[in-house]
Amino acid sequence: MELDLIDVHFDLRNIKPKELEEAFEDPFLIRFLPDTDRTDGSSRYYGLGRTIADRYLFFAFRTDGKNARVIAAREMAEAERKFYDRKYAEFG
């Protein structure tokens, strides 16, 4: 899946494109599908992923199956990180 970071609405100086790519490729990525239906055929997701440097990221993105467009990204909140760590431990 191609990652689209053109004209994003968050600061790419704080979260680097490479970090977002790493979080998307996290084998333990947790992806949530929101409840809303879209008329444009794309699906919107929330993701919890970790980078190689052990940075925990929350991101919202939209995808049509071929391209993923990141809508928002930030550090995980403490509760999100605990949830991610709990799910990660289930795989171990």
**Closest among 26, 17, 70, 72 to 48, alpha carbons compared:** 26
What is the domain range of residue 54? 2-91
The pLDDT value recorded for residue 25 is 92
Give the span between the Cα atoms of 55 and 53, in whole angstroms. 6
| pLDDT reported for residue 37 | 66
Structural domains counted in the chain:
1
Contact 62, 43 (CB under 8 A): yes
Quick: pLDDT tens for 9-19. 777 788 988 99
Q: What is the pLDDT of residue 74?
A: 93
21-67 pLDDT tens trace: 999 999 999 999 876 666 766 678 899 999 999 999 999 998 877 88
Mapped onto helix, strand or coil, the DSSP state of residue 62 is strand
